[in-house]
Amino acid sequence: MDIFELLNALGIEFRRLDHEAVFTVEQSRQLRIFDKLGGQPCKNLFLRNKRGEFFLLTLPADKKADLKAVAKILQMSRLSFASEDELSTILNLHAGSVTPLGIVNDAQRKVKLIIDAELQGKTLLLHPNTNTATISIAFDDLIALIRHAGHEFSLVDLQNDR
């Protein structure tokens, strides 16, 4: 199912802005995408541990992603970036389009979402499974979508080192 069809079917409100392909937060800033939509821009990282477990980390775009600290919070020895092949196979996404909305493509529920607690209560700016658009969506609606997809998630309190 198309992500927009699913959002509509679940009654989730969102605003959509189509734009040229962007691969970094900085490119999004240059196009003033965040200013046009309003909300909290997010950074999303697709990660794995040594045991082959997969995680999608979502945090504010301007916050440093300290993978050692995240691994410690999750009580793991180490996290690293998953490969582009793994990203494509598991979430049907490509580099530059990583988003927690991609979990709708993870029918085997291999991915656990890790969400920075700082995002609670905010309107989030995320790619809708493509890097040629950005949507704004309420935090609670993202959680509703995650639960609808039957995925696990954890809220973590990451350090505020920006």
Residue pLDDT, tens place only, 99-125: 999 999 999 999 999 999 999 999 999
- CA within 13 Å, CB half, 95: 7
Q: Would the pLDDT of 162 be above 50?
A: no
Q: What is the mean pLDDT of the chain?
A: 94
Average pLDDT over residues 66-90: 93
Q: What pTM does this model have? A: 0.93
Q: What is the architecture of the domain spanning 3-137+150-156?
A: Alpha-Beta Complex (3.90)
Return d(Cα 59, Cα 47) in angstroms, integer: 13
Q: Would the pLDDT of 157 be above 50?
A: yes
Residue 156 — very low, low, confident or very high, per pLDDT cuts 50/70/90? Answer: very high
**Cα-Cα-Cα-Cα dihedral sign, residues 123, 143, 131, 94:** positive
Q: Pick the residue with more confidence: 161 or 88?
A: 88
Query: Amino acid identity of 7?
Result: L
Q: Would the pLDDT of 18 be above 50?
A: yes
Return d(Cα 55, Cα 158) in angstroms, integer: 15
Task: At 99, give phi and psi (nearest 5°).
Answer: -160, 150
pLDDT of residue 160: 58
Quickly count helices (H) and strands (E) in the chain: 6, 8
- Tell me the CA distances in angstroms from 144 to 116, 150, 152, one per residue in order: 16, 10, 12
DSSP structural state of residue 18: E
